[in-house]
Structure 1
Amino acid sequence: MGADLKPIRTDADYEAALAEAGRLWGARSGTPEGDRLDVLATLIDAYESRHYPMDPPDAIDAILFRMEQQGLTRKDLEPLIGPRGRVAEVLNRKRGLSIEMIRNLHEGLGISAEILIRPTRHEEAA
């Protein structure tokens, strides 16, 4: 088995950890190789979280993703957001979400309220 495990501090450490994880991929859980892979995965995840953070989606991206997942149309959003024109304004980032819309989308589509209250990209640029 490889050298002692140590924190990933540099891009070279990161690349080496990825390469070793690739070699260990598929190792059975509970074996020394499987345990090493689990620890490497944790170290890799911690390094990626620090160096390559992902921005959470804005509210509109989350709504569009959920629509795609569930095969929904804009018409399906009317009970949650309002008339067709309002749905279009919201999805085109021309109108922000009201508290009532946020509640309805959270309950109706199961989108996290935390994501729905985030400013959309259009609001951040203003």
Structure 2
Amino acid sequence: MSTISHKQYVEANLRLEELLKEVDNNTPEDSPLSKELIEVSDIIEQYEEIHFPMGLPTLQEMIELRMFEMGLKRKDLAALLNTSASRISDYLNGKREITLKVAKALHQKLNIDSDIILQ
């Protein structure tokens, strides 16, 4: 895999904009424009993986996301994790490290990936 230059990345983005005006869900996958759209998207993806790596979300971001998804307030989360609301605030504000017990509960009850918990 060769390295994509910034110039190639910019050109790919410009071409992508043009292709998106011409290709839609009704365009056959084997059409030249659909194939070019995939190639251009691959160039952009390769460049962005190197130059703009996303990384994992923080534990605080994941907890807040799960709270939103599950409709939980801090006191609800505290009850679910068998701790206090003030302790939850400390975790979310980065004032306190989570305990092993809370880490297990986050993994089991909120389905937060262990890689995120341990980072």
Aligned to 1:10: 5
Q: Summarize the alignment of residues 74-93 of structure 1 with structure 2, pairs less than 5 Å apart.
A: 74-78=74-78, 79-80=80-81, 82-93=83-94
**Equivalents in 1 of 2:77, 2:36: separation in Å?**
47
Q: How much does 1:47 deviate?
A: 0.5
Aligned length: 112
Which stretch of the first structure deviates more once superposed, 27-36 or 100-109?
27-36
Where does the alignment leave 5 or more consecutive residues of structure 1 unmatched?
Answer: 1-6, 119-126
Q: CA RMSD in A?
A: 1.8
**Equivalents in 2 of 1:8, 1:19: separation in Å?**
19
Aligned to 2:65: 65
Summarize deviations over 1:2-23 as a string: whole Å, max 9, x none. Answer: xxxxx66222211110111111
The normalised TM-score by structure 2 is 0.82
Aligned to 1:50: 50
Q: How much does 1:115 deviate?
A: 0.5
**% identical aligned pairs:** 29
**Equivalents in 2 of 1:32, 1:65: separation in Å?**
40
Where does the alignment leave 5 or more consecutive residues of structure 2 unmatched?
Answer: none
Aligned to 2:110: 109
Q: How much does 1:51 deviate?
A: 0.9
Summarize deviations over 1:25-83 as a string: whole Å, max 9, x none. Answer: 23422212111111211121011010111232211121112222332210121122512
Q: Summarize the alignment of residues 18-37 of structure 1 with structure 2, pairs less than 5 Å apart.
A: 18-25=13-20, 26-27=23-24, 28=27, 29-37=29-37
**Equivalents in 1 of 2:32, 2:71: separation in Å?**
44
Amino acid at match of 1:95: R
The normalised TM-score by structure 1 is 0.78
